[in-house]
Structure formats: structure tokens, C-alpha cells
Amino acid sequence: MTNFRTQTLRQAGLILAFAVSISALSSTSSFAFSAEAQQMCTGDAFRLCSSEIPNIPKITACMVKNRANLSAGCRSVMDREAAAQKSSKVAAE
């Protein structure tokens, strides 16, 4: 029972950390986008980056590093985020 609770708390922490990292990375995204990123990438984050919990910058770096291993849906969300960041940086200059 204790192992189940520990695992559940760890999973909840990862979901929260990943949602916060996506929100923090995006100055132009809306809450809906963050929810989409969470939905599309949580499984990948567990599979590829669970050892980085709860360090948000490390989870994010791990996801970027493992881009080739991401599911198509997660990769699509992350690509849109990267494109939005690049266009907002260019617009600000």
C-alpha cells in the first residue's frame, strides 16, 4: 500500500512539474495549450525522464534531448512550442 501511495504521489508530482515546465517555457501559450502538452507528453515524460522528477528544468532538457523518442503527438506539441518561442523572440527584436 505504501509503495502504491509513493508511486501515485511521484506520478502526480511529475504531471504537475511537466505542466509547470511547459507553462514556464511559453510566454504566449494559453492554459489550453498547457493542458494539451500535459495530455500529449505525460506518458513520454514518465517513460523517458522520470529520473529527473521533480527538477523542472531537467525534465524539460530531458524531453528535448529525447525528442527522437517522443510520441508523435508530444513531438508535435513541442515543435509548435519551439516555433512559437522563436517567432516571439524575432518579433521582440
Domain ranges (residues) in the chain: 2-92
Residue 7 has pLDDT above 70, yes or no: yes
41 Cβ contact list (under 8 Å, min separation 6): 18, 22, 63, 70, 71, 73, 74, 77, 78
* 52 vs 12, more confident: 52
Give the tens place of pLDDT for each residue, 56-84: 888 888 988 999 999 999 999 888 877 87
pTM reported for the whole predicted model: 0.59
- 19-59 residue pLDDT tens: 655 555 444 443 334 577 888 888 998 899 999 878 888 88
Residues of the chain with pLDDT > 90, as a percent, come to 19
